[in-house]
Amino acid sequence: MGSNGNAMGTAQLLIPIFKEEGYEFWSIRMKTLLRSQDLLDLVEQSYADPDNEGKLQENRKKDSKALVIIQQAVHDNVFLRIAAATTSKQAWLILQKAFQGDSRVLVVKLQSLRRDFETLMMKNGESIADFLSQTTTIISQMQTYGQRLRIKL
C-alpha cells in the first residue's frame, strides 16, 4: 500500500463557482480557500521578483496555482473577463472592480446599509428571530464592504 501523503494536500478542494451574482459572499469564501492554501497574500499583494532564482520560481508556481483556483472558481461567462490575466492578482482585481466596484461605489453601498441599519425597527407581529436575522444580515453586509463595527455592551 502506498503512502497517502498529506490528507489536506491531496483532498480535492470544493471551489465555489461565481456566476455574476453574490460577489461579496463568493469573495469571502475564495479568500478563505486561498488562505488555506497559503496563497491569499500572494493574490492580494503579488510578489516582487527576488534575486534568489529558487524563490522566484517558487513564487511563480504559487501564483500559477492561485490563478488556476480563481479561473476554476468562475462560470464561463465570467472567465472571459479574466482569460487574459497572467497573474492571480490581475485576475482578482479585474473581478473585484467588475463586481464590487471602485471605492466610490463601496461608499454608496455602505451609506445605504448604514441607513438601513439606523432605520431598522421591529414590525408588529415580527418574531425576534426574524428581526435578529435581518439585523445580522445588514451587519454582515456592512462588514463585507469593509465597515469595522465596535460592539458596546
- Give the model's pLDDT for residue 130: 92
Are 92 and 111 in a shared domain?
A: no
Is residue 28 one of the residues assigned to a domain?
A: yes
Count the domains in the chain.
2
Are 88 and 72 in a shared domain?
A: yes
Are 33 and 78 in a shared domain?
A: yes
Are 69 and 125 in a shared domain?
A: no
Is residue 150 one of the residues assigned to a domain?
A: no
**Which residues span the domain enclosing 127?**
103-144
Own/partner long-range contacts of 13-22 (Cβ < 8 Å, ≥24 apart): 13/37, 13/69, 15/69, 15/72, 15/73, 16/73, 17/73, 17/74, 17/75, 18/73, 18/74, 18/75, 18/78, 18/95, 18/99, 19/75, 19/77, 19/78, 20/75, 20/77, 20/78, 20/99
Angle at the Cα of 128 (from 149 to 138), degrees rounded to 5?
Answer: 30
**Mean pLDDT of all residues in the chain?**
85
Whole-model pTM over 0.75? no
Are 94 and 31 in a shared domain?
A: yes
Own/partner long-range contacts of 60-63 (Cβ < 8 Å, ≥24 apart): 62/38, 63/87, 63/88, 63/89
Place of cell 435578529: 132
- Give the model's pLDDT for residue 102: 65
pLDDT in tens, 62-101: 999 999 999 999 999 999 999 999 999 999 999 998 888 7
